[in-house]
Amino acid sequence: MENTNPFHYEGELSWCPGCGDFQILKSVEKALTSLNKKPSEVVLVSGIGQAAKLPHYMKANGFNGLHGRALPPAFGIKSFNRDLTVLVTTGDGDCYGEGGNHLIHAIRRNIDITVIVHNNQVYGLTKGQASPTSEVGMVTKTQPFGVVSLPFNPIAFAIAMDTPFVARSYSKDIDFTADLIKQGIETKGFALIDILQPCVSFNKINTYQWYSQRAYKLDNNYDPTNRVKAFEKSLEWGDKIPIGVIYRSQRQTYDETLDRLGIKPQVNSQPDLSKVKSLLSEF
Amino acid sequence: MSFDISIKIAGQAGQGIQSIAEILLKVLKLNGLHVFAYQDYMSRVRGGHNFMQVRISDSPVYSIKEDCNILVALDTNSVDVHRNEVPKGGAIIYDPHSTMVDSPDNRFIPIPMNNLAKEVGSPILSNTISAGSILALLDINKMDAEEFVKKQFAKKGEEVIEKNLKALERGYLYFLENFRSWKFTDIKAQKNNKLIMINGSEAVGFGAIAGGCQFIAAYPMSPSTGVFTYITGKAKEFNIISEQAEDEIAAINMALGASFSGARAMTTTSGGGLSLMAEGLSLAGVMEAPVVVVNAQRPGPATGLATRTGQEDLEYVLHIGHGEFPRFVFAPGHPEEAFYTTIHAFNLSDKYQVPAFILIDQYFADTYATAKEFDLNKVKAISSQPSAFSNDYKRYQITKSGVSPRAYPMQGDFTFIADSHEHTENGHITEDGEVRNKMVEKRFRKLKGMQKEFGKPTYYYGDKLVPSSFKKGKAKTVFLAWGSNYGVVRETVDYLKKQKRSVAMLHFNRIYPFPRKEAIAFLKGAKEIITVENNYQGQFGNILKAETGIEVDGKILKYDGRPFTVEYILKRI
């Protein structure tokens, strides 16, 4: 399996040694390989941040855009070419902070993409400021008296938005994460996978040890289709943090709506001149 | 020009000004008459004071007039505001039961529109009654109006059609029965004159469709919404993905994503929304992503005058987006030019992989004008994307022209990255100074090709439009215009020509890359250069100076949110 990874990138990676991003990269490659995807039919979309560098570190198509703005281009890319497998690799700052508004509306649209959030509860690229998921009280250079704002709960939020696939993982468990990503890709519609990921340089609170002590896998009796139970589960945070598929639902995707309307433009196609002519008569 | 009539229909929002105007305009067009109609409206859905100005002639008309020959006043306020604009011999139509008129003179024509409407079935028909009376006053056969009513209300069923036909007849006959002696002017129909009637928004939208638009994402904002609405209305028929974005940031980034997938993509907005797009436009610059951006201007700063007109975003659009990157900026002068320009914008944005801006404004977007049928064979959608690539494909390959072959995903077995950082030929992040220089220079090398493309200025000298092959200007006084001021400056030139003045207009449709050579040639020898603009600073004059060193001698400016008139310009020469 390892030797036949077509997504492997031969080049330098600029993440800090020990960063959870390496594990997530492996999980993404594993998930895509297990689905027999070809690099040419995959697009990795990202904004800005450490997580957003991922498209440069894999052999696949990539759109590395602006901070907070990974979801809108992902919508444009996927809606125009629905044969593509579109993954968004983003972080807690990129997706829950700068781009929060887009997350609300991307879920509403339910375009068939998989969003992988590298959630390390801190800003890495800008060197250690609080992120939207940082714990209250965390002291940083820009929050010298400790974080005041309540951390964003992406799982509860996504359930409230009736997201088709909502999962949480812990980066250290590569196989488990790969499987969740695989399920996310297989899900029709929007999939949100929040991955807890230690930041070895700037987050001295949520460390490998911290996550390892708390993260536990949901057992087989857990029913992710029960929205109320899922909501209850999403509120569990502290001494125990559940990982796995927390919520699943089904509704029409944006892709299906376009298919139903017969809207599927082709690259390089010209407008039908006789139809254009008929518009003239309306004036 | 054997006749030139102006009509103002005034009242509150929601009173049906547009319904009356619509019947009138369509019927006049069917009679082969040239019309030009501008709507002045307030930012509210009900109440306030709105009016529609309709100018009619047997020759093409390009602007509105301050005075009007006929006023249709739908409320008392409208009489007070506009009665002095109607000269002797003009007509003021009003409803004597709902409109109070102090000392009506012989211009006043009372038509009990509401009562007549009730007689034929419902007060809602009073608009059709008014239209009937206006047509009778203009002595225009009502048969075309009947045809139009049948078409217009076809979906609403027989009963609605029947009632409207009755109302039309009642309004028409009431006028004839009571005011037969009113002889207004001789309007001769020119039935063999085949015209279309289109507003600026529709012309841009129609151009986008003819230009092969496949993806539009936008956020509604006056006065740009009309373009978005028009295209979206045709989305299914023309296989276009249309999405109302959550904000303008999303809109531009969605369009860039679609562009990455290979789409001909666009977005529409107005100043405030454009500001939100600034970073996305910079992204288009570094990613070299084709995208067409329509900016319908309104006066700012910030919310400014939401429903009014202005030309204040020119310098902004020339520079919008941090960093440096080339772009096209177009500002068409009339609907026909807007149609062709939009098709060119798609083709050129695709060919050079740069954003192409189309600057219009509220006046332009909302103004209806008749025109000869557009020639669909004149400009066609052309794709510049190569069809085959080798597997060592490089998205940002350094080339002599500056244009790298643009592929889209799944066009082969290769992969590629579009990147917001400075990047290598492969699209990967780089901080290498040498690569950086090469990339900046590559992007700017495109300008040489872009400069030669569509968009030479138009030199208007009397009733002649001099083609771009014309080597130099002839007039002593040259008025500069860009965008929507084409019409009003053209008519100013016509007027001054009749006074034997040596005048011309130089109208710029493409402002970037600036057509330097042509501007210098046409302005050489001019004794006086006057720029006419809807802004405070004379932005175009400043750009002309920066690009050519030529300084304007005078500026005629207007920034009250209302369009120019010939009268306004003449008073300031």
Q: Which residues of A touch B427 (CB under 8 A)?
A: 62
pLDDT exceeds cutoff 80 at B468: no
The pLDDT value given to residue B329:
98
Is B26 found in the same domain as B175?
yes
Residue with tokens 């619509």: B22
**Which residues 6+ apart lie within 8 Å of B30 measured at CB?**
B144, B147, B148
pLDDT 10s digits, A30-68: 999 999 999 999 999 999 999 999 999 999 999 999 999
The pLDDT value given to residue B38:
95
Asked if the structure places residue B381 within a domain, the reply is no
pLDDT exceeds cutoff 50 at A2: no
In chain A, domain spans: 2-280
Asked if the structure places residue B379 within a domain, the reply is no
CB of A274 within 8 Å of a chain B CB? The answer is no
**Probe site for chain B from A268, A270, A272, A278 (most B CB atoms < 10 A):** A268
CA dihedral defined by B308, B314, B315, B318, rounded to 10 degrees? 140
**Contact state of A83 with B420 under an 8 Å Cβ cutoff:** no
* Gap from B141 CA to chain A (nearest CA, Å): 21
Last residue of a domain, one of B318, B340, B372: B372
The pLDDT value given to residue B184:
75
Q: What is the mean pLDDT of residues B119-137?
A: 94
* CA–CA distance, A133 with B148 (Å, rounded to integer): 62
Q: Which residues of B touch A102 (CB under 8 A)?
A: 246, 249-250
**Which residues 6+ apart lie within 8 Å of B333 measured at CB?**
B458, B481, B482, B483, B484, B485, B486, B487, B507, B509
Is residue B47 very low, low, confident or very high in pLDDT (cuts 50, 70, 90)? confident
Q: Among partner residues B283, B380, B412, which is closest to A66 by beta-carbon distance?
A: B283
* CA–CA distance, A204 with A139 (Å, rounded to integer): 10
Is residue A1 very low, low, confident or very high in pLDDT (cuts 50, 70, 90)? very low
Is B19 found in the same domain as B60?
yes
In DSSP terms, B372 is beta-bridged to B195
Is residue B471 very low, low, confident or very high in pLDDT (cuts 50, 70, 90)? low
* Joined tokens for residue A77: 């890319």
CB of B401 within 8 Å of a chain A CB? The answer is no
* Gap from B301 CA to chain A (nearest CA, Å): 25
* CA–CA distance, B239 with B258 (Å, rounded to integer): 14
Asked if the structure places residue B384 within a domain, the reply is no
Q: Among partner residues B212, B253, B413, which is closest to A65 by beta-carbon distance?
A: B253
Secondary structure in 3-state letters for B56-125: EECCCCCCCCCCCCEEEECCHHHHHHHHHHCCCCCEEEECCCCCCCCCCCCCEEECCHHHHHHHHCCHHH
Q: Nearest 5°: phi and psi at B130?
A: -60, -45
The pLDDT value given to residue B413:
94
Q: Which residues of A touch B252 (CB under 8 A)?
A: 72
Closest CA to B27 of B138, B119, B112, B109: B138
Is residue B473 very low, low, confident or very high in pLDDT (cuts 50, 70, 90)? confident
In DSSP terms, B296 is beta-bridged to B360
First to last CA, chain B: 25
Q: What is the mean pLDDT of residues B56-71?
A: 94
The pLDDT value given to residue B191:
81
By C-alpha distance, the chain B residue nearest A80 is: B258
Asked if the structure places residue B353 within a domain, the reply is yes
Q: Where are the alpha helices (DSSP H) in B293-395?
A: 314-319, 335-352, 362-366
Is B318 found in the same domain as B278?
yes
Is B345 found in the same domain as B230?
yes
* CA–CA distance, B273 with B224 (Å, rounded to integer): 10
CB of B100 within 8 Å of a chain A CB? The answer is no
Is B488 found in the same domain as B367?
no
Counted domains in chain B: 4
Asked if the structure places residue B382 within a domain, the reply is no
Q: Among partner residues B234, B373, B409, which is closest to A84 by beta-carbon distance?
A: B409
pLDDT 10s digits, B335-344: 999 999 999 9
The pLDDT value given to residue B186:
76
CA dihedral defined by A179, A185, A190, A191, rounded to 10 degrees? 10
ipTM value greater than 0.95 = yes
Per-position b or e across B32-45, b if 16+ CB within 10 A of its CB: bbbbbbbbbbeeee
CB of A101 within 8 Å of a chain B CB? The answer is yes
* CA–CA distance, B444 with B437 (Å, rounded to integer): 11
pLDDT 10s digits, B523-533: 998 999 999 99
pLDDT 10s digits, B278-315: 999 999 999 999 999 999 999 999 999 999 999 999 99
pLDDT 10s digits, A131-171: 999 999 999 999 999 999 999 999 999 999 999 999 999 99
**Contact state of A69 with B247 under an 8 Å Cβ cutoff:** no
Q: Which residues of B touch A276 (CB under 8 A)?
A: 209-210, 376
CB of A86 within 8 Å of a chain B CB? The answer is no
Q: What is the mean pLDDT of residues B444-457?
A: 97
Say which amino acid occupies A49: G
Closest CA to B282 of B223, B348, B327, B333: B327
Eight-class DSSP state of B197: E
First to last CA, chain A: 62
Is B50 found in the same domain as B173?
yes
Closest CA to B408 of A86, A114, A185, A40: A40
Asked if the structure places residue B378 within a domain, the reply is no
By C-alpha distance, the chain A residue nearest B385 is: A268
Is B462 found in the same domain as B422?
no
Return contacts of B553-559, CB within 8 angstroms, 24+ apart: B553/B528, B553/B529, B554/B528, B554/B529, B554/B530, B555/B530, B555/B531, B556/B530, B556/B531, B556/B532, B557/B532, B557/B533, B558/B533, B558/B534, B559/B299, B559/B310, B559/B312, B559/B534, B559/B535
* Joined tokens for residue A44: 């990795």
Is B434 found in the same domain as B358?
no
How does the average pLDDT of chain B come out, rounded? 94
By C-alpha distance, the chain A residue nearest B419 is: A64
**Which residues 6+ apart lie within 8 Å of B467 measured at CB?**
none
Secondary structure in 3-state letters for B284-296: HHHHCCCEEEEEE
**Contact state of B253 with A72 under an 8 Å Cβ cutoff:** yes
Q: Among partner residues A104, A277, A283, which is closest to B198 by beta-carbon distance?
A: A283
**Probe site for chain A from B260, B411, B413 (most A CB atoms < 10 A):** B260
Handedness of CA A263, A266, A268, A273 (dihedral sign): negative
* Joined tokens for residue A252: 């029409």
**Contact state of B410 with A263 under an 8 Å Cβ cutoff:** no
* Gap from B100 CA to chain A (nearest CA, Å): 38
CATH topology of domain A2-280: Rossmann fold (3.40.50)
In Å, how far are B47, B354, B363, B510 from B358, measured between CA atoms?
Answer: 33, 13, 15, 9
Give SS3 for A22: helix
Is A53 in contact with A46 (CB distance < 8 Å)? yes
CB of B255 within 8 Å of a chain A CB? The answer is yes
Is residue B469 very low, low, confident or very high in pLDDT (cuts 50, 70, 90)? low
- B534 is in which domain, residue-wise? 458-571
CB of A253 within 8 Å of a chain B CB? The answer is no
* CA–CA distance, B366 with A196 (Å, rounded to integer): 53
* CA–CA distance, A33 with B454 (Å, rounded to integer): 48
The CATH number that applies at residue B469 is 3.40.50.920
Share of chain B above pLDDT 90, in %: 86
In Å, how far are A94, B273, B413, B414, B499 from B410, measured between CA atoms?
Answer: 28, 33, 7, 8, 65
Q: Which residues of B touch A71 (CB under 8 A)?
A: 250
Least confident of A234-248, B132-146, B214-228, B253-267: B132-146
Closest CA to A37 of B256, B260, B418, B409: B409
The CATH number that applies at residue B128 is 3.40.920.10
Asked if the structure places residue B385 within a domain, the reply is no
